[in-house]
Structure 1
């Protein structure tokens, strides 16, 4: 009994001394105490913006989803019904999700300026959203920088009002089909309207619909030197993310960019949505293999 008391007293003194000294502490079984066990790293569902024929490879590498093109996979244009049905069947057979879509509508369909195409945009959007629902997808990225580019000399306030008016009609369609529209700010070399998370949120707040949210593209943020702090500031609106390296839009690991400051911001807002590699590829198979390892490591580091 006295020996047991001495052992317990010794363990207690070792434990408390360790706390005071800031050293790792252990329980009586020699295991680290719960407060000293490293927290699990940050993880997110990872995908790649590519064609669905890469689904098998992505699945083997440990990705969680494909991000397809509206025009190529949902085919909302006239005459696309048969091919869409083939795509939908391929999705069912592969059992690997298409979580999201890019390239919502082409630049020739203008949302702002003297010649508007709002009715055509809304018609295309409804078909795309309906088909995205049929595919079990979560969102469509609303970038379309050519469509929203403000013509030279055209009044910016008028353009902004035109775009908001379109979005106010489009958001109820997203709500109808249960597929979120993710407004994507683009860097200034690609378009001259909605170039930051703050500008994207201005549109989102004007629309005021829970199915109309924000896309966070780390590549575009890097290109325009937009701080990771903006992610924290507007985190409540973010529903989906893209990533690529700054200089040439290469895949993570090609140039060695450090994304950790942006990942820390996403972790801080408790982001749980998807993160897609949207990149310019030189050697697709090798770059997506390295890319997932690089992204997972940097996520784990934060």
Structure 2
């Protein structure tokens, strides 16, 4: 397993400097914003050549969720995700992380009555995934379907629910991304869920139980990494977290060392 990171506010803005900074810090890959990649693909290629730091995946950078309530936004999102997958293929990235939606609706807050039926949710997300499955097949990439916690999305909260979409639609290029923060809220057991869905998990996000940097909270990363090792997971573990502390750079470096120790 290799450890990558998304961008952070204290990283340099210049793309080459950003890649150099991450490489020096000890990260082994960059999960890039999709819009940044599409708009600066040549600069990203040059940074990869210069530093040897790969782009593992993309996350975000498009407008319109694959399960959007508004059809025009859903279709727009699909077109933008398609362009991101094409750009990922150019730079050697594995694929893009996509949730059904984020912040669009939750049953846990008022009005607690969805404007669309569960059958409608399944239809919209399935149509999007079927479209993107073909795009990913054409570009040699993957779509990583992300379950979010119940407060951020109402459609897909468990790894098993993501699996249901993959199997029901016979998707060949869609896999599950397991996010430790969301799993800590939703799954009965993180290690157990990782094991049960081991054949469909293609990517992983790491943050501690409170969404801050790994090692600053309550999660037992060594236990869960040991389970991943037993099940033969050899993909990326990507930091997707907020950072707290007086010195964010030092705290981030400390978190990386913590995960490296948990992998040892």
TM-score (norm 1): 0.75
* 2:46 equivalent in structure 1: 89
TM-aligned CA deviation for residue 102 of structure 1: 0.9
* Aligned residues between the structures: 248
* 1:174 equivalent in structure 2: 136
* 1:185 equivalent in structure 2: 147
Q: Distance in 1 between matches of 2:93 and 2:194?
A: 24
Query: 1:190 and 1:298, CA in 2 relative to 1: closer, same or farther beyond 3 A?
Result: same
Residue 131 (structure 1) aligned to one of 72, 80, 87: 87
Query: 1:214 and 1:142, CA in 2 relative to 1: closer, same or farther beyond 3 A?
Result: same
Q: Distance in 2 between matches of 1:250 and 1:185?
A: 19
Task: Give the ranges of 4+ consecutive aligned residues of structure 1 lying more than 4 Å apart after TM superposition.
Answer: 147-151
Instruction: Report the secondary structure of 1:100's partner residue.
Output: strand
* Deviations 1:3-32, CA, capped at 9 Å, x for gaps: xxxxxxxxxxxxxxxxxxxxxxxxxxxxxx
Q: Distance in 1 between matches of 2:116 and 2:172?
A: 31
Instruction: Report the secondary structure of 1:105's partner residue.
Output: coil
TM-aligned CA deviation for residue 72 of structure 1: 2.3
Q: Distance in 1 between matches of 2:143 and 2:7?
A: 19
TM-aligned CA deviation for residue 255 of structure 1: 3.0
Residue 193 (structure 2) aligned to one of 209, 216, 230: 230
Instruction: Report the secondary structure of 1:141's partner residue.
Output: strand
Instruction: Report the secondary structure of 1:235's partner residue.
Output: coil
Query: 1:117 and 1:70, CA in 2 relative to 1: closer, same or farther beyond 3 A?
Result: same
The Cα RMSD (Å) is: 2.2
Does the alignment pair 1:71 with 2:27? Answer: no
- Equivalent residues of 1:244, 1:277 under 8 A apart: yes
Q: Distance in 2 between matches of 1:275 and 1:258?
A: 15
Q: Counterparts of 1:196-215 in structure 2 under 5 Å?
A: 196-215=158-177
- Equivalent residues of 2:66, 2:101 under 8 A apart: no
Larger Rg: 1
Gaps of 5+ in 1: 1-43, 75-79
Query: 1:104 and 1:171, CA in 2 relative to 1: closer, same or farther beyond 3 A?
Result: farther
Instruction: Report the secondary structure of 1:276's partner residue.
Output: strand
* Deviations 1:161-185, CA, capped at 9 Å, x for gaps: 1210111111010010011111011
Q: Distance in 2 between matches of 1:202 and 1:103?
A: 23
Query: 1:202 and 1:287, CA in 2 relative to 1: closer, same or farther beyond 3 A?
Result: same
Instruction: Report the secondary structure of 1:187's partner residue.
Output: coil
* 2:209 equivalent in structure 1: 246
Q: Counterparts of 1:32-71 in structure 2 under 5 Å?
A: 44-50=1-7, 53-71=17-35
